[in-house]
Chains A and B, each alone.
Chain A
Amino acid sequence: MPPKQVKGEYIETDTGNKVSRKSNILGSQNIILGGKTIIQADCTIRGDLRRAGAPGQHGNVAIAVGRYCFFARSSVLKPPGKTHRGAFSFYPMKLGDHVFIGEGAVVEAAMVGNFVHIGAGAVIGKFAIIKDCVRIEEGTVVAPHTVIPPFSRVAGRPGVVVEELPETAQESLELKQLYRVI
């Protein structure tokens, strides 16, 4: 038997994504990672829930993720689904750059903008749209189909905008430093 190889926790791809060996990624052919994204252990990504029917001009992308995103332990990303004209289908989910998803958070949003921080244990409902520079506090429940405007801080159950963020918020929401640490 060959000597046991020493393996790190993360597999690094050509574009600098670091994906934990202990993450549960289903349907990886339908997931696009922009690069320098970190996926931690026990994180579940449901790429298998793709749009019904034949692949369109962009193929069957279920989840598209930007650069410098961070998915903490036990977080779940799942494309939203609904019944439209009598047929149930999942719809693609888009995440921007510098999106942080905290431990145990469940995201079923249709779109998440750039520089978004989703706290640990938060739940983002189906087809929610979150614009740029938003901070969602820990344990927040964002109702399905909600639209969160840019530069807002969201908390509560159901989640509402409790405060506006200053224009300098983007700097504090950047994740380049975090990528270097891991």
Chain B
Amino acid sequence: MAPKSRLSESAAARPPAILSPTILISDVAQLTGTHLIRVGNHTAVHPRCRINSSAGPITIGDYCILNERTQIIAPDERGIVLENYVVVETNAVVEAQRVGEGSVIEVGAKIGKGAVVGKNCKFTPLTTVADGEVVEDDTVVWGFGSRRKDMSGSKEARRKLVERQVEGLKAVIPSNRAKFMS
């Protein structure tokens, strides 16, 4: 009987959501909270990704990829904005105020409360960004807190790859957008 009661519970706590008709969202992704969750075109939300809008609204742009076990948590009433082409990998926790276009947050990285991340940043696995920190555009955070600037100039190529990846994911992950529409 337990699974049934769990289902009805999640239905009661379902947050208001504006989901683009072109998104890919798994059946077992978790959207919780009370504030508005807005997701843009062609964004992929993997199974067991957790999006929590208890404290504020969440806006996710176009062509973002949110992997399994990631947590997107609004830090306060100002909410959180993920711009276009943001990739968040497994186990990452994002509580930033804003994450710039084309940034990549890799496995297990943590972006602290209210941090502001620039465009095309990269956070390699297990790195952390402190609460309220401002990270400039094109920063790469790696190793034990080391930083450098990305001069490769491959931004446009990377966007293409993210688009292709979303297309590939659409072939393997079944989407259930209707479940999250209130």
Contact = CB atoms under 8 A, between A and B. Distances in A.
Interface of A: 24, 26, 44, 46, 48-50, 52, 76, 78, 81, 83, 86-90, 104, 106, 108, 121, 123, 125, 139, 141, 157-158
A106 B91 contact: yes
B93 to A, nearest CB: 13
B68 interface: yes
B168 A48 contact: no
Contacts of A49: 172-173
B56 interface: no
B175 to A, nearest CB: 12
A157 B109 CA distance: 13
12 contacts: A24-B48, A26-B47, A52-B168, A76-B69, A76-B91, A78-B68, A83-B161, A83-B168, A88-B164, A104-B91, A123-B126, A158-B142
Interface in B112-129: 124-126
A88 B68 contact: no
B168 A141 contact: no
B165 interface: yes
B171 interface: yes
B172 A158 contact: no
Contacts of B181: none
Interface of B: 47-48, 68-69, 90-91, 107-108, 124-126, 142-144, 161, 164-165, 167-169, 171-173
Sorted nearest first, the 9 A-B pairs with minimum C-beta distance are A88-B168, A123-B125, A88-B164, A83-B164, A157-B143, A141-B125, A88-B165, A123-B107, A106-B107
B80 to A, nearest CB: 23
Given A90-B172, A123-B125, A44 B164 contact: no
Contacts of A26: 47
A123 B108 contact: yes
Nearest to B67: A78
B100 to A, nearest CB: 23
A52 B173 contact: no
Contacts of B124: 141, 157
Contact of B144 (A44, A125, A157): A157
A83 B165 contact: yes
A46 B125 contact: no
Contacts, number: 68
A44 B173 contact: no
Contact of B171 (A52, A125, A139): A52
B91 A89 contact: no
Contacts of B125: 106, 123, 125, 141, 157
A11 to B, nearest CB: 16
Contact of B69 (A44, A123, A157, A158): A44
A53 to B, nearest CB: 9
Contacts of B173: 48-49
A86 B68 CA distance: 24
Given A81-B168, A83-B165, A88-B164, A44 B68 contact: yes
A166 B51 CA distance: 47
A108 B112 CA distance: 25
Given A46-B68, A76-B90, A89 B168 contact: yes
B126 A88 contact: no
